[in-house]
């Protein structure tokens, strides 16, 4: 049976990488519609995937976009806060621009998307929110103080939402995926001399594939995870160990 039959799904940053893999998997699993909300269109081809241009830092744009989804479908069942960026530098060289831009997209973007969608889910009595954090949010990484702060912050917000959005009997679950290092465009800036030690340190001896994160997201999006709430699911080949 299709695991997301008739669900209305919103994925931020769905044009490429992990977001694209999730959009395609969710569409295949019978979602009525999967919205990719992204700065760019990408090449999503499934009939039930729709691209809507959105900058997750623009609160007014978020509100009108989510309102139009609500008007069209009456509900939103799944939200994946996936859009994210890196602007790496050692702390002493990290300027305010690098700090602010990562905060705005990775942390405030997640907050404002969720603020717009959670009330719709609560009104509907159910929903699944999945926030994409990172192994870096759990353990830190040299040159990524800004990124690590946002990805750790996302976990704190998720624990809060796992409590807040289940008040008054609403079954709105919030969970986190903490990927390790996955082969996407984001990793293209990382030199091979950094990637090879990462492969070597990973018990599975390779980087992850976007589809492997999409599989985990599918579990958390579907009713198969109906009693999973406030969980951080590492998808990292065991690298954290």
Known catalytic residues? 147
Q: How far is the CB of 72 from ligand NAD (least distance, A)?
A: 20
Q: Order of strands across the sheet with 171-179?
A: 49-53, 33-38, 8-12, 78-81, 126-132, 171-179, 232-235
- Interface with ligand NAD, residue 146, by CB under 6 A: no
Using the minimum distance from each CB to ligand NAD, give the nearer residue, 42 or 127: 42
Q: How far is the CB of 54 from ligand NAD (least distance, A)?
A: 6
Using the minimum distance from each CB to ligand NAD, give the nearer residue, 8 or 110: 110
Q: How far apart are CA 81 and CA 113, in angstroms?
A: 8
Give the tokens for residue 144: 């990524």
Tell me the site size for ligand NAD, rule CB under 6 A.
Answer: 28
Give the tokens for residue 16: 């490429």
Q: Do residues 129 and 175 lie in contact, with contact meaning Cβ atoms separated by under 8 Å?
A: yes
By CB under 6 A, what part of segment 15-54 binds ligand NAD? 15-19, 38-40, 54
Distances (CA, A) of 35 to 26, 48, 78, 159: 10, 8, 10, 25
Using the minimum distance from each CB to ligand NAD, give the nearer residue, 131 or 229: 131
By CB under 6 A, what part of segment 197-226 binds ligand NAD? none
- Site for ligand NAD, rule CB under 6 A: 12-13, 15-19, 38-40, 54-57, 82-85, 105, 132, 134, 179, 181-182, 184-187
């Amino acid at each position: 049976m299709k695991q997301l039959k008739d669900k209305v799904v919103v994925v931020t940053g769905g044009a490429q990488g992990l977001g694209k893999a999730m959009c395609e998997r969710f569409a295949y699993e019978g979602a009525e519609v999967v919205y990719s909300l992204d700065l760019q269109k990408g090449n999503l081809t499934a009939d039930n995937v729709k691209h809507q241009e959105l900058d997750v830092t623009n609160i007014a744009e978020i509100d009108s976009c989510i309102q139009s989804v609500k008007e069209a479908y009456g509900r939103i069942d799944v939200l994946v806060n996936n859009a994210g960026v890196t602007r790496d530098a050692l702390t002493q060289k990290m300027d305010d621009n690098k700090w602010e831009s990562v905060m705005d997209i990775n942390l405030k973007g997640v907050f404002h998307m969720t603020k717009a969608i959670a009330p719709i889910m609560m009104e509907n009595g159910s929903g699944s929110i999945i926030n994409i954090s990172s192994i870096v949010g759990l353990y830190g990484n040299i040159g990524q103080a800004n990124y690590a702060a946002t990805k750790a912050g996302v976990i704190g917000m998720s624990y809060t939402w796992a409590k807040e959005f289940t008040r008054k009997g609403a079954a709105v679950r919030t969970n986190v995926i903490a990927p390790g290092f996955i082969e996407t465009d984001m990793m293209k800036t990382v030199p091979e001399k950094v990637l090879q030690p990462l492969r070597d340190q990973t018990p599975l001896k390779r980087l992850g594939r976007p589809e492997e994160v999409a599989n985990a997201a599918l579990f958390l999006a579907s009713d198969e995870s109906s009693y999973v709430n406030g969980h951080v699911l590492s998808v990292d080949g065991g690298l954290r160990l």
